[in-house]
Amino acid sequence: MNCGPAAAAAKATARAATTNKYSAAAGAAAASKAAAAAAAAAAATRDAFVISYVCQQQQLELLLLLQLLCCCSSHWSSSKETQQLLQQQQQPLLLLLQQQQQQQQQQPLQQQQQQQPLQQLLLLMQLRLQGLRSIYSDAEIRCLVICLAAAAAAAAAAAAAASFAAALPQQ
Report residue 165's pLDDT band, with 50, 70 and 90 as the boundaries: confident
The pLDDT tens digits of the residues spanning 13-50 come to: 555 544 455 555 555 566 666 666 655 555 555 455 55
Residue 95 located in a structural domain: no
Is 126 part of any domain?
A: yes
Q: How many angstroms separate the CA atoms of 30 and 102, rounded?
A: 30
For residue 3, what pLDDT is reported?
Answer: 45
Q: Domains in the chain: how many in total?
A: 1
- Res. 158: pLDDT tops 70: yes
Q: Is residue 111 part of a domain?
A: no
Domain interval for residue 169: 17-74+117-171
pTM value surpassing 0.85: no
pLDDT of residue 1: 44
Measured CA to CA, the distance from residue 32 to residue 66 in angstroms comes to 21
Q: Does some domain include residue 82?
A: no
Helix, strand, coil share (%) of the chain residues, nearest 5: 85, 0, 15
169 three-state secondary structure: coil
